[in-house]
């Protein structure tokens, strides 16, 4: 794989023991980040956007997300579990949230905090940003970190359309840390652990685009925690409360596709699912759609309930959250919240902390920083592409013939890896001809 400056890092890993080099993941990757080397899938750091598609597609369960050691929570006296409502959506509605939370306490946490409690403050941050940038017509929500990275690498001309505000979990962790410290806790004694539905949120915590400090001490995979809680739920009769105020129907729905956009004034759009996101960004880039207002975008179909670390069907999870939202409506939680004495203001420090100073374009297409050099490479690439058979067989270890052509001009692969150009033997050449017609080319392209 190419070397040079690495500006993205990931928690996604390939288990070489399980990986069969079957090319399935490589073909699903939206940024052509995967190659087969030594018979195993290898992910390129600068191209991967943590969308999780490869992991969803792998038939051998060979791609996994490295998580922090659960024992890490023991290092803190105050152990806060920062949960998104997506987690609650994994459970049957017959279980009360209080019962689920009591299991979390039994597992060792001392406090529960629901991320979506910060929805009002997040909305204010978005609204402030939009008001401060009247020159921008289409704003893209920064909610899904995979979308932001995708824009950086594939649609760099749109980086300025992304609202430059950090993830809600960063705000939530700051709010909870302040609250505990106001109650006398020392900063070092507070550990905040986020329950993640995906790899993208982990990257957002550990390797943030903002380059700023995180208040999250560790990240726990949602499937891991789900299994632990499920085993305890049957005999859980305890009523544990989160320390935040009750969520409203609106808050519960926030991680779902459409749950965010609907709360904003003016025009809003909700785009979910990788293919839809790609299509929409492509059109935005070409100005083929006119979309003034706020665009909510989620890489996962149905939003975070479709995250790669969720355990239950996304449509079922969606229904369950809708059910709980209706329940909260009947309980008039929003009135409760309004009449409570909670402080929903943003401190100037938080406003500053939540800012992303700069989202850098990181084009994966650019062949060279020098135009003349890039031009030569592009010309050669075009020639090579023509010489390749165009069947995208992936036998060369690249996802497509175009990707191989690019690897060749970048110096990351040789043309002789193409089995069409360089058939192994007379017999294999005849066999290939029977299947593919006359697409086997002689090795002439590079003269």
Rounded CA gap, 432 and 425, in Å?
Answer: 10
Taking the complex as a whole, the smallest distance from the CB of residue 255 to ligand SF4 amounts, in Å, to: 6
Interface residues with ligand SF4 (CB under 6 A) are 12, 28-31, 33-34, 43, 48-54, 144, 146, 197-198, 200-201, 298-300, 303-304, 307
Per CB under 8 A, the list member of 42, 96, 208, 285 interacting with other proteins is 285
Alpha carbon 354 to its chain's center? 19
Indicate whether 286 belongs to the interface with other proteins (CB under 8 A): yes
Tokens of 108: 């060792």
Q: Are 176 and 111 in contact (CB under 8 A)?
A: yes
User: How many other β-carbons are positioned within 10 Å of the β-carbon of residue 273?
Assistant: 17
Rounded CA gap, 32 and 394, in Å?
Answer: 12
Taking the complex as a whole, the smallest distance from the CB of residue 274 to ligand SF4 amounts, in Å, to: 8
Which is closer to ligand SF4, CB of 43 or CB of 225? 43
Tokens of 197: 């539905």
Q: Are 249 and 326 in contact (CB under 8 A)?
A: yes
Give the residues across from 64 on adjacent strands.
13
Which is closer to other proteins, CB of 51 or CB of 405? 405
Q: Which stretch binds other proteins (CB under 8 A): 6-14, 44-52, 337-345, 369-377?
A: 369-377
**DSSP letters for 160-202:** GGB--B--HHHHHHHHHHHHHHHTT--GGGEEEEEEESSHHHH
Per CB under 8 A, the list member of 30, 89, 156, 218 interacting with other proteins is 156
Per CB under 8 A, the list member of 37, 382, 386, 439 interacting with other proteins is 382
Per CB under 8 A, the list member of 77, 186, 366, 439 interacting with other proteins is 366
At a CB cut-off of 8 Å and minimum separation 6, what does 424 contact?
Answer: none
Rounded CA gap, 231 and 215, in Å?
Answer: 30
Which is closer to other proteins, CB of 285 or CB of 322? 285
- Among ligand SF4, other proteins, none, the one that 180 touches (CB under a kind-dependent 5 to 8 A) is none
Q: Which stretch binds other proteins (CB under 8 A): 57-65, 214-222, 379-387, 433-441?
A: 379-387
Indicate whether 157 belongs to the interface with other proteins (CB under 8 A): yes
Residue 15, judged by CB atoms within 10 A of its CB (0-12, 13-18, 19+), counts as middle
Q: Are 299 and 306 in contact (CB under 8 A)?
A: no
Taking the complex as a whole, the smallest distance from the CB of residue 60 to ligand SF4 amounts, in Å, to: 15
The closest alpha carbon to 310, from 249, 227, 232, belongs to 227
SS3 35: strand
User: What dihedral do alpha carbons 280, 283, 287, 288 form, nearest 10°?
Assistant: -110
Indicate whether 289 belongs to the interface with other proteins (CB under 8 A): no
Taking the complex as a whole, the smallest distance from the CB of residue 209 to other proteins amounts, in Å, to: 19
Residue nearest to ligand SF4 (CB): 307
- Among other proteins, ligand SF4, none, the one that 48 touches (CB under a kind-dependent 5 to 8 A) is ligand SF4
- Among ligand SF4, other proteins, none, the one that 146 touches (CB under a kind-dependent 5 to 8 A) is ligand SF4
Indicate whether 367 belongs to the interface with other proteins (CB under 8 A): yes
Indicate whether 374 belongs to the interface with other proteins (CB under 8 A): yes
Which is closer to ligand SF4, CB of 78 or CB of 91? 91
Q: Which stretch binds other proteins (CB under 8 A): 28-36, 272-280, 285-293, 307-315?
A: 285-293
Which parts of 53-189 are beta strand (E)?
Answer: 63-65, 78-83, 111-114, 138-140
Which is closer to ligand SF4, CB of 198 or CB of 418? 198
Per CB under 8 A, the list member of 381, 396, 403, 404 interacting with other proteins is 381
- The backbone torsions φ and ψ at residue 298, rounded to the nearest 5 degrees and listed phi first, read -130, 130
Tokens of 240: 């544990």
The closest alpha carbon to 174, from 378, 368, 347, 299, belongs to 347
User: How many other β-carbons are positioned within 10 Å of the β-carbon of residue 109?
Assistant: 22
Which is closer to ligand SF4, CB of 99 or CB of 256? 256
Indicate whether 290 belongs to the interface with other proteins (CB under 8 A): no
Indicate whether 377 belongs to the interface with other proteins (CB under 8 A): yes
Which is closer to other proteins, CB of 286 or CB of 343? 286
Taking the complex as a whole, the smallest distance from the CB of residue 383 to ligand SF4 amounts, in Å, to: 28
Rounded CA gap, 93 and 325, in Å?
Answer: 11
Residues that bind other proteins (CB under 8 A): 156-157, 282, 285-288, 361, 363, 365-369, 371-372, 374-375, 377-379, 381-382
């Amino acid at each position: 794989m190419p070397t040079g400056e690495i500006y993205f890092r990931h928690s996604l890993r390939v288990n070489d023991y399980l990986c069969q080099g079957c090319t399935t993941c490589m073909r699903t990757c939206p940024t052509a980040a995967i190659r087969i080397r030594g018979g195993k899938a290898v992910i390129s750091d600068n191209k991967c956007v943590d969308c999780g598609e490869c992991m969803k597609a792998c038939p051998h369960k060979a791609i996994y997300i490295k998580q922090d050691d659960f024992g890490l929570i023991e290092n803190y006296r105050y152990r806060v579990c920062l949960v998104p409502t997506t987690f609650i959506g994994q459970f049957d509605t017959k279980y009360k949230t209080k019962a689920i939370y009591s299991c979390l306490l039994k597992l060792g946490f001392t406090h529960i905090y629901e991320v979506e409690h910060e929805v009002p403050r997040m909305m204010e941050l978005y609204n402030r940003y939009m008001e401060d940038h009247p020159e921008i017509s289409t704003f893209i929500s920064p909610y899904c970190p995979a979308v932001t990275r995708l824009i950086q690498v594939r649609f760099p001309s749109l980086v300025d359309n992304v609202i430059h505000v950090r993830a809600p979990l960063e705000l939530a962790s700051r709010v909870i840390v302040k609250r505990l410290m106001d109650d006398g806790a020392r900063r070092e004694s507070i550990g905040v652990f986020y329950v993640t539905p995906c790899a993208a949120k982990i990257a957002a915590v550990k390797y943030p685009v903002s380059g700023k400090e995180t208040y999250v001490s560790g990240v726990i995979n949602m499937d891991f925690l789900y299994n632990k809680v499920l085993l305890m739920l049957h005999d859980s009769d305890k009523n544990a409360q989160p320390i935040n105020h009750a969520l409203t129907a609106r808050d519960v729905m926030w991680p779902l596709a459409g749950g965010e956009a609907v709360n904003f004034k003016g025009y809003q759009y909700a785009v979910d699912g990788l293919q839809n996101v790609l299509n929409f960004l492509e059109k935005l880039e070409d100005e083929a759609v006119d979309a003034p207002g706020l665009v909510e975008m989620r890489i996962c179909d149905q939003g975070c309930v479709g995250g790669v670390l969720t355990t239950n069907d996304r449509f079922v999870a969606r229904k369950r959250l809708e059910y709980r939202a209706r329940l909260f409506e009947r309980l008039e939680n929003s009135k409760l919240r309004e009449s409570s004495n909670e402080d929903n203001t943003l401190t100037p420090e938080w406003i500053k902390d939540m800012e992303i100073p700069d989202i850098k374009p990181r084009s994966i297409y650019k062949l060279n920083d020098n135009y003349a050099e890039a031009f030569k490479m592009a010309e050669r690439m075009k020639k090579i592409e023509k010489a390749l058979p165009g069947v995208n067989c992936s036998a060369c270890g690249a996802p497509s013939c175009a990707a191989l052509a690019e690897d060749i001009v970048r110096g990351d692969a040789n043309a002789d890896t193409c089995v069409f150009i360089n058939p192994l033997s007379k017999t294999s050449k005849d066999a290939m001809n029977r299947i593919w017609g006359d697409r086997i080319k002689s090795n002439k392209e590079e003269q």
